[in-house]
Structure 1
């Protein structure tokens, strides 16, 4: 009985020695002076560091997005400022061009009136000279007599019947010639004014054509930019 108990105890000891006990290994110490508690604390800080890194990355993305938005806003503001400046320059150029056009038309009208007066005077002088050169001695005496009659040098009561008839005839003839001369002068004025107006229309048409060409070139340059 005693031998059986001893034999059973020996078998039990062998079985216990063959079992492998698995033990969780300790973390590797970073330094010989570090204690397991310090290493444990360092390993406990790792998730917090990952969270901090994630937060920092998110903040960097937000800052980058804000920076991009600021650049876009600045670019848009600069573009609007350039467009406003361009519009102001175009408006200023248009005003200057219109003012120059008004001044040019005013100068043109003054020059036209001056040319009309000079042309009228030239025609009158030429007609007077031609008429005076064609008068005979008798006609010149009649003209002098008519002038003296108009000035009151000869009284109507002092004239004979023949002189009165002659004076009436000469007066009617002079009136007819004066009316004819006035009609000719009006015709010349109309012709000169029509020529001046035609010239003005041609100048205005040329200015309008130049303005259209200028705006077209400016539009083409703007589209190319």
Structure 2
């Protein structure tokens, strides 16, 4: 978010820096649905596939592993030589590492696991934030219900402000009438005292 010149003048440098840092971090930073989905994807990749050759039951065994540098945030690195050797030695096991449609998560291949995790994460996000592809109302997802509650609060506050404004107008009108009566009495008294001199 950028500030106008007037808004920037009202903020000190530290406030501007903090606000811009917050804006850059984004609304989805540390979102529990996204971090949970990401953690499940990692677990899917690192867990061995049961029911296949133990020499090719995990990506790391065929030359695909994650970077040891934590700044890479789980970047996959592959050793082409080790991967070619594994494919030449047992291509069926490599195929089974990725493809089986097992009955449990442990026996499913990596593509099936990842597809399921991505679909589950997508469904959880749609439950929370809604889906533009379907005709869903605000009542059918969490953020929509929260928006509806905020709209209702705004309406109640606006109604309350109108009541307060009307009360002040009544008080102001009553005060104006009282001042007008005092002015009339003051004029009458001045005429009475001025007329007797």
Which structure is higher in helix share? Answer: 1
- TM-score normalised by L of structure 1: 0.31
- TM-score normalised by L of structure 2: 0.35
